[in-house]
């Protein structure tokens, strides 16, 4: 199977399996999305979604969050892990958004990645899911599957992103990256990997099971 054939099969299979792609992190503004994505680093979306209602009840705008102390933020978000970094980051990015961007989350990679605790992946998620800008955020599931499918060598997350953007149509990126994440969670986990469940990999790269 050529790469072009693999890409065509993968897109068709994922579209059939996941015709709708709800955003996994609960939010109701670009700011609450940004904070939720920061909290999701090395933490499950499910856990983040149990913590953000508590945090956002106290502060759901950068203006309100900037008024909280780092300790107040840390006490709420502790279950999400990496507490010192995330609490300081959320406080810091909120202050910058207030002072530099008139309280509005900026809509460029350069501006987003200049904020505390905001790396390229976080910026990509906000650009894609918040501003509907074509982006292909690569998480551990996408990184793993692109390698399993023989579409990337898996040398780095940035390389995987470049490969994905070259292979898949730009107009599909925002939906497709979520479809791949959903598939990875349900059908192609890092552990407990089963051929009969992971039907896409067994089709496009059967030798990997040998």
pLDDT at 96: 98
Confidence of residue 158 (pLDDT cuts 50, 70, 90): very high
For residue range 16-47, what is the model confidence (pLDDT) as tens digits? 999 999 999 999 999 999 999 999 999 999 99
pLDDT at 210: 67
pTM score, two decimals? 0.94
Give Cα 137 to chain centroid, integer Å: 6
- Closest C-alpha among 46, 41, 79, 48 to residue 185: 46
Cα 136 from Cα 153, distance rounded (Å): 17
For residue range 99-152, what is the model confidence (pLDDT) as tens digits? 999 999 999 999 999 999 999 999 999 999 999 999 999 999 999 999 999 999
Q: Where in the chain is the domain with CATH 1.10.1670.10?
A: 3-21+136-209
Q: Where in the chain is the domain with CATH 1.10.340.30?
A: 30-130
Considering the segment(s) 30-130 as one domain, its CATH architecture is Orthogonal Bundle (1.10)
CATH number of this structure's domain 3-21+136-209: 1.10.1670.10
Alpha helices in 3-130 (DSSP H): 3-17, 30-39, 45-58, 62-67, 70-77, 83-100, 109-113, 120-125
């Amino acid at each position: 199977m050529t790469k072009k054939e693999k890409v065509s099969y993968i897109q068709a299979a994922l579209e059939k399996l996941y015709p709708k792609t709800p955003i996994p992190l609960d939010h109701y503004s670009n700011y609450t999305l940004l904070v939720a994505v920061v909290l999701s680093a090395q933490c499950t979306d499910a856990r983040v979604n149990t913590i953000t209602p508590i945090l956002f009840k106290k502060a759901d705008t950068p203006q309100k969050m900037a008024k909280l102390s780092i300790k107040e933020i840390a006490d709420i978000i502790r279950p999400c892990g990496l507490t010192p970094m995330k609490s300081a980051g959320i406080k810091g990015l909120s202050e910058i958004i207030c002072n530099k961007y008139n309280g509005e989350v900026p809509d460029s990679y350069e501006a987003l990645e200049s904020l505390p605790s905001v790396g390229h992946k976080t910026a990509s998620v906000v650009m894609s899911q918040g501003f509907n800008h074509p982006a292909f955020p690569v998480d551990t599931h996408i990184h793993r599957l692109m390698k399993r499918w023989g579409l990337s060598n898996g040398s780095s997350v940035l390389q995987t992103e470049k490969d994905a953007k070259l292979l898949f149509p730009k107009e599909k990126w925002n939906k497709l990256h979520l479809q791949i994440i959903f598939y990875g969670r349900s059908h192609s986990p890092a552990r407990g990997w089963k051929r009969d469940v992971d039907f896409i990999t067994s089709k496009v790269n059967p030798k990997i099971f040998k």
